[in-house]
């Protein structure tokens, strides 16, 4: 018997109120970083990608932190509070006001981050085809330790027993409960208030509803997921590392099948919001995080770390560079050993070379800062060349000030720009100048003491002997 899915409303409730004691951290567990996104990012994203739009996150332990993350990063995600955390059953009970308006409720543990959207939509489809009162995901795993075991009963029913409550023969069962359930709200509302807490932890267990539904309300359908790694729960820092490796493998595999070139995917790390055009190359040891995107034929050299970076076509980041919050045009080059941070804009063909730090600055088309410079709070016009060792002195001990350098300028090596200061187009500075006043268009600014030479220094015996005396040298 099949039914019309459109006519069935469905809410998604993500359980994220627990403390996560086993993380040994001040941070609530669902904000622990997995590939630099908080754990709770993943179930929300999977639900959204599965086309499920009514999503609520249940918060509790340090819920203000979770709530402010949700407000900042997600639109239309409801927040429901569970101020005292008495277990997953209690969690679903206190959220009843939120979910009672739907026909069906998908409950996701907030700490099961690798569930694929296809798995969720598969669960929804199967549920609507078979129409049981509850469907839930299980998987067969080599090491079921810590998980609820799925006990298949002789009468065809099913029961979940928690690891801590399991008897000797139950503990050996390797089919586990994944913490992903789809309930008919009608059935759920009957059983949820009857869940007790007579168990090893003294908590209200949501999995207890499974057997209760079998007994009274009707059918429960267990959907066995083929890939047990997809349903790993994250409870400890070790789990975090293992899920990170698994997710990274999955992401890298996906990108490489679409053209990403990567010599060693096992040492290359990317977050879930990183996007690649075709034919991008990454060397070993690269890390790319946040919202980053890479255009055709761009490449990143070994051991570089990029965060929130857009890299244009054919642009190259050489080895050992650290870049954050940068928008880089086409045919640009950066590094090796460059550091770019705090809102950087680089035009097409711009170049940032070896041992250069660039902060909160604009480097226009074709401009170059090839060696050993600090450029902070500055604008560099198109085609300008900045000599080695140039520094923008942007901080006067109290405030930060800006430096503005025009187009097609030639800045001599070791120039200090004492900001606020500006330089027109086609202007130059002499090497070693300390620029404290604005430089007009087309001018050469020289600001350093004039060189003097003492003739015959080498042969002036008197002076040299005196020098030797004071330095204790025997003649």
Q: Interface residues with ligand UD1 (CB under 6 A)?
A: 15-18, 29, 58, 60, 82, 85-88, 90-91, 109-112, 147-148, 160, 162, 176-179, 205-207, 233, 235
148 binds, among ligand UD1, Ca ion, none (CB under 5 to 8 A by kind): ligand UD1
Residue 17 near which of ligand UD1, Ca ion, none (CB within 5-8 Å, type-dependent): ligand UD1
Beta bridge partners of 270: 288
CB of 21 to ligand UD1, least distance (A): 8
Q: Which does 95 bind (CB under 5 to 8 A by kind): ligand UD1, Ca ion, none?
A: none
Structure tokens at 307: 């965060």
| Nearer CB in complex with ligand UD1: 56/251 | 56
Q: Which residue's CB is nearer to Ca ion, number 233 or number 366?
A: 233
Query: CB under 5 to 8 A by kind: which of ligand UD1, Ca ion, none does 205 bind?
Result: ligand UD1
Q: Identify whether the C-beta of residue 294 lies closer than 8 Å to the C-beta of residue 323.
A: no
Rounded to the nearest 10°, the torsion over CA 329, 333, 336, 338 is -40
CB 350 within 8 A of CB 334: no
**Given the rule CB under 5 A, which residues bind Ca ion?**
111, 233, 235
| Sequence-ordered list of residues with C-beta below 8 angstroms from that of 384, at least 6 positions apart, any chain | 364, 367, 368, 405, 406, 407, 408, 409, 410, 411
Nearest approach, Cβ of residue 238 and ligand UD1 (Å): 14
The CB-of-91 to ligand UD1 minimum distance in angstroms stands at 4
Q: Judge contact between 343 and 325, C-beta under 8 A.
A: yes
User: From CA 93, how far away is CA 192, in angstroms rounded?
Assistant: 6
Q: Which residues of 39-78 are buried (b: 16+ CB within 10 A; e: fewer)?
A: bbbbbbbbbbebebebbbbbbbbbbebbeebbeeebeebe
Q: Which does 199 bind (CB under 5 to 8 A by kind): ligand UD1, Ca ion, none?
A: none
* The entry of Ca ion, ligand UD1, none that residue 91 binds, CB within 5 to 8 Å by partner kind: ligand UD1
Helix, strand, or coil (residue 465): helix
Q: Nearest approach, Cβ of 299 to Ca ion (angstroms)?
A: 40
Strand partners, 363: 346, 380
Closest CB 171 distance from Ca ion, rounded Å: 18
Q: Which is nearer to ligand UD1, 61 or 127 (CB)?
A: 61
Q: Which of 24, 90, 320, 371 is catalytic?
A: 371
Which residue's CB is nearer to ligand UD1, number 66 or number 352? 66
Any catalytic annotation for residue 371?
Answer: yes
**What is each CA distance from 192 to 91, 143, 184, 210, 217, in whole angstroms?**
10, 30, 12, 10, 12
Which residue is at the shortest CB distance from ligand UD1?
A: 148
Distances (CA, A) of 405 to 193, 331, 388, 417, 424: 70, 22, 16, 10, 6
Q: How far is the CB of 249 from ligand UD1 (least distance, A)?
A: 20
Residue (234 or 378) nearer to ligand UD1, CB: 234
State which residue, 29 or 351, has the beta carbon closest to ligand UD1. 29
Catalytic positions: 371
């Amino acid at each position: 018997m099949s039914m019309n899915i459109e006519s069935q409303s469905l809410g998604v409730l993500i359980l994220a109120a627990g403390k996560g004691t086993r993380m040994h951290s001040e941070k609530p567990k669902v904000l622990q970083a997995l590939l630099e996104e908080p754990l709770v990012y993943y179930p929300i994203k999977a639900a959204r990608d599965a086309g499920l739009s009514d999503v609520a996150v249940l918060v509790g332990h340090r819920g203000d932190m979770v709530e402010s993350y949700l407000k900042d990063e997600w639109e239309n995600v409801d927040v429901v509070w569970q101020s005292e955390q008495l277990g997953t059953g209690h969690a679903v009970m206190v959220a009843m006001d939120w979910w009672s308006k739907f026909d069906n409720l998908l409950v996701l543990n907030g700490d099961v981050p690798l569930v694929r959207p296809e798995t969720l939509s598969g669960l929804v489809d199967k549920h609507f085809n078979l129409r049981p009162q509850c469907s839930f995901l299980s998987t067969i795993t080599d090491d079921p330790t810590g998980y609820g075991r799925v006990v298949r009963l002789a009468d065809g029913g099913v029961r979940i027993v928690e690891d801590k409550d399991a008897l000797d023969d139950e503990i050996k069962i390797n089919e586990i409960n994944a913490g992903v359930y789809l309930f008919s709200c009608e059935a759920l509302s009957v059983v949820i208030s009857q869940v007790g807490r007579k168990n090893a932890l003294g908590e209200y267990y949501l999995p207890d509803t499974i057997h209760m539904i079998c007994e009274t309300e009707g059918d429960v359908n267990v959907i066995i997921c083929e890939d047990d790694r997809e349903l790993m729960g994250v409870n400890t820092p070790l789990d975090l590392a293992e899920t990170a490796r698994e997710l990274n493998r999955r992401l890298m595999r996906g990108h490489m099948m679409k053209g990403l070139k990567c010599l060693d995917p096992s040492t290359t790390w990317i977050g879930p919001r990183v996007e690649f055009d075709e034919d991008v190359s990454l060397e070993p040891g690269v890390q790319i995080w946040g919202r980053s995107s890479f255009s055709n034929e761009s490449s990143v050299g070994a051991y570089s770390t990029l965060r929130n970076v857009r890299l244009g076509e054919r642009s190259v980041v050489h080895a050992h560079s650290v870049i954050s919050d940068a928008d880089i045009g086409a045919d640009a080059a950066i590094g090796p050993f460059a550091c770019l941070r705090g809102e950087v804009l680089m035009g097409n063909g711009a170049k940032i070379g070896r041992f250069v730090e660039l902060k909160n600055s604009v480097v226009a088309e074709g401009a170059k800062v090839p060696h050993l410079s600090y450029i902070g709070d500055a604008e560099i016009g198109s085609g300008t060349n900045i000599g080695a060792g140039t520094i923008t002195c942007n901080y006067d001990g109290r405030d930060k000030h800006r430096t503005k350098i025009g187009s097609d300028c030639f800045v001599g090596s070791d120039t200090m720009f004492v900001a606020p200061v500006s330089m027109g187009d086609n202007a130059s500075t002499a090497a070693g100048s300390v620029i404290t006043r604005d430089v007009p268009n087309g001018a050469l600014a020289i600001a350093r003491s004039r060189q003097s030479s003492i003739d015959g220094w080498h042969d002036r015996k008197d002076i040299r002997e005196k020098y030797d005396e004071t330095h204790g040298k025997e003649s």
